[in-house]
Structure formats: structure tokens, C-alpha cells
Chains A and B, each alone.
Chain A
Amino acid sequence: MDILVYGTINSVSLALYALGFALVYGTSRLPNFAHGALFVLAGFITWFFLNSLGLPYPVAIVLAMLVTAVIGALIYQFILVRVRGMEISEIIASYALGLAILEGLRWGGFKGMSYTLPVFIEGSFAVAGISVDYQRLLVVLIGAAVVGMLWLFTHFTRIGLALRGMAQDERAAMMLGIDSDRMAVVAMGFGSGLAALAAVLLLPLGNIVVESGYNILILAIAVCIVGGLGSWMGAVLAAFLIGFAQILTVVYLGSHYQMVVALLAIILTLILKPSGLFGRQKELEERV
């Protein structure tokens, strides 16, 4: 039973890590390797607003999400747009940016275990005899809400539909009047905002540490590769697969194998089904 409860929480956390990355890659085929850095940065921005400026917690959270979204959009507008369409350069440029952000934070003195964010609501309750604190409950609820809203956004709004069109055939979308550069800025903004949302939800469960930026990037990539790059519904399902696999290894093997599971998932997927669980359409094309 505790496997079910903790597995769900872990899976939703993974989905939250990965959604921003999946959204950006899915719409503009841009592998944003600065994703983990933006996550950590959002944590420190929230911390700064809260502790240095003394803003109320909800205001700090919303502001931090906005600021991170703007930073993401600026990164695209001024840097990544120059290497657009060259995948290796996109990876190198965004990873370098991520490194610069993370190591810049470390250099700026944001290191050690002393930085934490408070939980939203104190306390805990019991599910089937297992005690779960409210923050983790919020993670699951908000995570589910985000997935639902993303689905609505991409199926029923003009910008969401334009992003889906761009994801499938960028030039065909241009012919219909969709400005692909502007849409990529929007996608980066949204993706970074989602990274920030994940940060403010999940960081109160631990410390804000620079090193976690790297882990989160790897987890996000693992989830996206297993789910099929570019398919964010696939990413959500893959998050559950990896999430439960991680909890099972923790229970039966030991907690230090957690990261191995994610990396093993990448390798297995690439060997067995390179297009990922939901790369169905692409597979269809390969066959034709």
C-alpha cells in the first residue's frame, strides 16, 4: 500500500519535472538543457523574494514563476534563436547556459543546506494507515490539475493549437500565418514557468541545492525519452512507469539505486524502442 501512495507521489513529481522540458521540445523541437538550472533558479528566486524582500509567500511564488518564465523567454529570444535548427548546437548552448546559471549561483554563495522554502500548509493526514503531509497531497493535486490544464490549453486555445501545429510541421504552420519564432518564445516561457511551478511545489520537501539541477535535468530527459520525445501525454505515463520503478527499487534494493533506474530506463528505451512508448506516429512514418 505504501508503494502505491509513495509511487504516485514520486510519479507526479517526476511528471512535474519533465512537463516543461516536454512542452518545449514537443512544440519547438528545442532540447532545453537549461531546464534543471531554471528549476533551481526558480527556487532561489522564490527564496529571495520571500526572505530578502519579505514578500508574502503566495506573491513570492507567483512572481518567481513569472520571472523564471521571462528569463526562459529571453534565453530563447537572445541566445538560442541563433542556433535554431542545429540540434547539437542547441544542446551545447542550452547546457552551457544551465551550467552558467548553476555554477553562477554556487559562486554567488548559494550553497550548502541552509536554503529552504516553507511548506504551503503544515501538517499531515493518513491514507490507509500511511501518513502523508499536505504538501505532498498538494503536489499530486496540482500536478494532476496542470496536466489537465495543459491538455485543455493545447486542444482548445488558439496558441495551444498553433503550438501543436508547429510541433508537427513547422513550415506548414508558417504557411498558415503562425510565427514560429514568436511561438518558440511563448513555448520557452511556458516551459520555464512550468519548471518554476515544479520548483515551488517540490522544493519545500527538501533543501534548495545547486546540485539538484543536474539530477532534475537527467530525470526530465529520462521521462521524455521513455515517453517518446515530443509527446507530453507519453511523458506523463512514462513518469508513472519510472516513478513506480524507482519506489520499488527503493523498497527492495535500497535508495541509492534510484538514479540508476532513470538512467537504465533511458538505455533500455533506446535499445528496445528508440521512438519511446508513444512515438507511434513516427514509427508509422519510418515504416512507410
Chain B
Amino acid sequence: MLEAEGLMVFYENMLALNNVAIRCAENQVVGVFGANSAGKSTLMYTLSGIMEDIRRKAQMAGGERITVMGRITYRGQDITNFKPSRRARLGIVLCPERRRIFKESSVLENLRIGAYLASAAQARETIEYVFDIFPALKKLKKRIGGFLSGGEQQMLAIGRALMAQPKILLLDEPLLGLSPLMQAELVRATRQIRDEMHISIIVTEQYARPVMPIVDYAFILENGAAVMDGRREELMDNPDVRSAYFGVQE
């Protein structure tokens, strides 16, 4: 469904992504695991097109020189040069690292801003659905975004991304800094989104264990390069992967 090959991203001379190839099939959950600065967010920004905006603004301001190479195809269409808004219209929606919800708007308003691409009927349905998978949000409908807890903000960010009617959802470190209980809740919701809405998902995490149960296929990034990939079972059997990303000592 979404396929990228030969992705290279340079910040000045620093190589952030080194010849990364990644793909996600229809209705699949793909995990991307790697340590800090392995290139996870850069990958997500490149797939969603935000990198193009970052590059353009940096160039205009005469700042950092960013170079992006490679090819991204979505359902057979080359989208490498599409603007983020155009990719979102096609159904590629990023739920960014650190959530970035609209802090001055209420929960409901966040969702309604997210419904920019949705028809009125779709928006109503999706709001119902979001409150269905995140019942906690329904009680906080009128609460201002900035006053939500981290977990609530993450639920809202995912809900807001769903409002844009994605076909493939990019979740960048959704579990960052959350309690194990909240993590379990979000993993459950993610699985539900895939099963019920038939939305493909690419999810990045530093620590693979909490999301591994719902991941079909995973890539491991190290220093900007995809050093390993495979189906869940294959990676679980690999002792190096187990110790580095699952915290299992043998």
C-alpha cells in the first residue's frame, strides 16, 4: 500500500536516513523500532511529507540545508513530491511525536478541526467512533486540550488523526512517557482501529514490547539505516533483537 525505497535524508552533512526501504501492506500494522536519533521521526516526517515543508522553510530562512532522496509510492502512485496536505487527502495521516494537539481548543473542537477533510456525515460518525474507542475522552469533551494529561492528549491526537479519514495512519511514538496501564489502553485501541476501520498503521517506538503483540511486520532502525526486518515471530526469535528492544536478558 505505502512503499518507500532508497530514502536518504541529510541534515547538512549528517545522514539521518540511510537508504531506508520500508513498506506497509493493506490492513497491516508495521512497527518501526529504534533508539533515540535512529531516524524514526525523520522517517515519519518523510512519509507524511512534513519533511518537504521543513526543508522548504529551512531553505527560505537560509538555515540548515536538508536533502531528501528516494521514492515513495502509495497504491502505485508516486507521491514523492506531494505536499503534506495532498498526502493527507489521499489518506496518509500522521499523528506526530509529542502529540501536538491544539492546546487552546477543547477536545471536541480539536476533533472538529481534524475533520477538515471529512464530510459532515463522516465527521459525526467518526466523532462517535472516537468516543467509542476512547470513552475517557467523551467525559472530557469540553476540556481545553492544554489541560489534558499526557495519556488523554495522546488519545485525542489519535482521535483527531482519525477525523481526517486516513487509510494509513502513521503513529510516531504514541506510547512515549505514558504509564503501562495507559500504554495497554492505547495498544488495545490501535488494534481496534485496524480491525474495525481497516486502517493500515505504521507505528514507531523505542521499546518494542508493548506494541509487539499487534505488529505484523517490523523494521529495526539503527543510526538511520534499516538494519533488520521481518515478521513478528522472526524478530522475536532473534536474540540480539530480544535483548536490545525487548529488554530480555539471556
Residues of chain A having any CB pair with chain B under 8 Å: 82-86, 155, 158, 161-162, 164-165, 168-169, 171-180, 281, 284-285
Contacts and interface: CB of A to CB of B under 8 A. Distances in A.
B105 interface: yes
B54 to A, nearest CB: 8
A9 to B, nearest CB: 31
Given A176-B163, A177-B88, A164 B57 contact: no
A159 to B, nearest CB: 9
B113 A175 contact: no
Contact of B96 (A164, A175, A281): A175
A176 B57 contact: no
Contacts of A174: 49-50, 53, 83-85, 88
Interface string B84-123: 1110110001111000111111000100111111000000
B72 to A, nearest CB: 16
Contact of B105 (A82, A168, A175): A168
B109 to A, nearest CB: 7
Contact of A85 (B48, B60, B114, B116): B60
Interface size class of B (residues with CB under 8 A): 35 or more
Contacts of A158: 115-116
A169 B161 contact: no
A91 to B, nearest CB: 15
A175 B102 contact: no
B61 interface: yes
B103 A172 contact: no
Kindly list the 7 A-B residue pairs having the minimum CB-CB distance in the complex, ordered from nearest: A177-B88, A165-B113, A179-B85, A172-B100, A177-B117, A168-B102, A174-B84
B210 interface: no
B150 interface: no
A249 B3 CA distance: 68
Nearest to B113: A165
A3 to B, nearest CB: 35
Contact of A281 (B57, B104, B115): B104
B100 A83 contact: no
Interface string B46-58: 0011100100010
B40 interface: no
A162 to B, nearest CB: 5
B50 A171 contact: yes
Given A158-B116, A177-B85, A171 B102 contact: no
B94 A164 contact: no
A165 B102 contact: yes
Contacts of A179: 83, 85-86
Contacts of B113: 161-162, 164-165, 173, 176
B102 A172 contact: yes
A173 B90 CA distance: 16
Given A84-B60, A175-B93, A176-B164, 20 more contacts: A158-B116, A165-B113, A168-B102, A168-B104, A169-B102, A171-B50, A172-B101, A174-B50, A174-B53, A175-B161, A176-B93, A176-B116, A176-B161, A176-B163, A177-B93, A178-B85, A178-B116, A281-B146, A284-B146, A285-B146
